[in-house]
Amino acid sequence: MSAELLQALRAAVGPAQVLTHEDPAADLSAWENDWRKRAQGRALAVVRPGSTAEVAAVVRACAEAGAAIVPQGGNTGLVVGSVPDDSGTQVVLSLTRMNAVRAIDGANLTMTVEAGCVLQSLQDAAENAGFLFPLSLAAEGSCTIGGNLATNAGGTQVVRYGNARELCLGLEVVTAQGEVWQGLTGLRKDNTGYDLRDLFIGSEGTLGVITAATLKLYPLPAAQLTAWAAVPTLDAAVALLGLAHQHLGAGLTGFEVMGQFALGLVDKHFPALRVPLWADSPYCVLLENSDSESEEHARGQFERLLETAFEQGLVSDAVVAESLSQARGLWHIRESIPLAQAEEGLNIKHDISIPVSRIPAFCAETDALLQREIPGVRLVNFGHLGDGNLHYNVQAPADGDAKKFLNEQETRVNTLVFDAVARYDGSISAEHGVGSLKVAHLPHYKDPVALGLMRAIKQALDPHHLMNPGRVLTHP
């Protein structure tokens, strides 16, 4: 059967675009292993279509053979959702050859692009045309827009522009049956029934394959300023966020919080980055102000905001970047936290969200709980405070064996953190999605009626469970 399928796949995309282990020289590890090295799969084949018609032909061939498909973009996902299992029977459908910008419509403020476009290349394409495409995350140099939409990615500009979902107006999708849904509309208003676009966004490849999207563009800001402030408490950070909303309005495009231990790891592993103000303060905050008038105007706004914050005791010290390269340096420190954590050793990652107002109480309670339950545990707390989204990560005790810690404690740590999230009306995944890593946890935390509706949708759209099986929902 697999020989027939391979033949059909080669007919669909050309023999050069079907990679298999039949060729002893072929190295498929880049498609088979996930970014965090949590899983090592084995694919029947990696297939690399170059057009929507080819994607549809691949899906039809797999449907006929009853073979499971794992859609893959840049393979930067953090929840083991984009790699095959180790059965040697699944087909990885890599979208990276579909990387054309099909159209830019300046007056409509949209661009239509193929799913395999690397995010950074889209930011550049938009900028070259005089516009801003605001989706921005640390993996932007290799993640694809198809993967961003499939995971409804967030990142650092959500406080102003929203998630990937809010930036998408239309989609082109190959269904599990191999039909093409042509939904590439650039309309901002369309009330003609169920929102299929929103169904496929965030579905993590379990309902169909996104092949292209129409995305929103924004005017480029006249100036962008970045500030770094030391705050005495998380309560002060939340109050500073409120003040920043008041003072900057729509200019507030970034508001990140970083705990002292997280910044200490950056200082330890990347001393050349020169982390400011971290040693004497439990938290630091990174703020970004994007101004449509001028740098002078932005600087004046920032000065008034920080002055008020000092007066109210919300900020103990602050620096405002003097140049673009200084601003980039400050963002680089923020983005280096996960890398510093990896240098420090294996760790447990979370991407939870809580209503902003309840974050200080959540952290106080959960920090104390974890320290009581697992003596010596180290908390690497940072994230997108403006969106109520924390990377509430847990590092093994300094003197312990990190691998043993992960094997023995991961489920317990997850349960402690997720139970606390539920008590605070939060979500166990604000950004990275469910994938395989959280699939067993989801039924405990998702409303049972919602879960039933999700299963019904999966059954209706993919009745044979061939689209990324076992991700988001357990395989029945």
Which amino acid is present at 97? R
Closest approach, Cβ 428 to ligand FAD, in A, equals 14
CB-based contact 99:454 (threshold 8 Å): no
Place of tokens 């006249």: 222
Beta pairing partners, 214: 112, 170
For Zn ion, the binding residues in 421-450 under the rule CB under 5 A are 431
Q: Which is nearer to ligand FAD, 176 or 234 (CB)?
A: 176
Residue nearest to ligand FAD as judged by C-beta position: 147
Q: Which of 203, 5, 8, 13 is nearest to 88 (CA)?
A: 5
Q: Which does 75 bind (CB under 5 to 8 A by kind): ligand FAD, Zn ion, none?
A: ligand FAD
- Record the tokens describing residue 374, joined without a space: 């697992």
| 72 binds, options ligand FAD, Zn ion, none, Cβ within 5 to 8 A by partner type | ligand FAD
Residue 153 or 180: which CB sits closer to ligand FAD? Answer: 153
Nearer residue to ligand FAD within complex by CB, 236 or 287: 287
71 binds, among Zn ion, ligand FAD, none (CB under 5 to 8 A by kind): ligand FAD
Q: What are phi and psi of 334, to 5 degrees?
A: -60, -45
CB of 109 to Zn ion, least distance (A): 26
Q: How far is the CB of 384 from Zn ion (least distance, A)?
A: 6
CA 321/CA 204 separation, integer angstroms: 38
CB under 5 to 8 A by kind: which of ligand FAD, Zn ion, none does 234 bind?
none
CA dihedral 236, 285, 350, 442 (to 10 degrees): 60
Question: How much of the chain is helix, strand and coil, in % rounded to 5?
Answer: 40, 20, 40
For residue 294, the minimal CB distance to ligand FAD (Å) is: 29
Provide the 3-class DSSP secondary structure of residue 105. strand
Residue 254 CB neighbour total at 10 angstroms = 25
DSSP secondary structure letter of residue 33: B
Size of the site for Zn ion (CB under 5 A): 1
Chain residues binding ligand FAD by CB under 6 A are 35, 70-78, 81-82, 95, 115, 137-139, 143-144, 146-148, 150-151, 153-155, 204-205, 209-210, 338, 431-432, 435, 468, 471
Which tokens go with 163? 């998630």
CB of 115 to ligand FAD, least distance (A): 4
Query: What is the smallest separation between the CB atom of 399 and ligand FAD, expressed in angstroms?
Result: 28
Q: Indicate which of Zn ion, ligand FAD, none lies near residue 117 (CB less than 5 to 8 Å, by partner kind).
A: none
Query: Out of Zn ion, ligand FAD, none, which partner does residue 82 contact, by CB within 5 to 8 A per kind?
Result: ligand FAD
The position carrying tokens 């999207």 is 213
Strands (E), 260-412: 283-291, 317-320, 347-348, 352-353, 378-384, 389-395
Binding site for Zn ion (CB under 5 A): 431
